[in-house]
Amino acid sequence: MFNSVSRRISLSALLLIVGTALATAAHAEIQWSESVEESLSKAAETGKPIMMDFYTDW
């Protein structure tokens, strides 16, 4: 039983480390924009989607 739990913990730790390393390696700089019109026109030109993030702390 201990061996099974130990393997699961080791595998989870390994997956966490590998996932973190892959996410760090694939890190690309995000180009933030505060103008919706500019972002929409650039997205139309490049054929890429945009993501709009709204936040409030009401």
How far apart (Å, rounded) are the C-alpha atoms in residues 18 and 7? 16
Q: List, for residues 13-42, the tens digit of each pLDDT value.
A: 999 998 887 777 666 677 788 889 999 999
What is the structure's pLDDT at 40? 92
Q: List, for residues 11-20, the tens digit of each pLDDT value.
A: 999 999 988 8
What is the structure's pLDDT at 30? 74
Taking each continuous run of H as one helix and of E as one strand, the counts in the chain are 2, 0
How far apart (Å, rounded) are the C-alpha atoms in residues 50 and 8? 39
pLDDT-based confidence at 2, cuts 50/70/90?
low
Work out the number of other CB atoms within 10 angstroms of the CB of residue 46.
8
CB 39 within 8 A of CB 50: yes
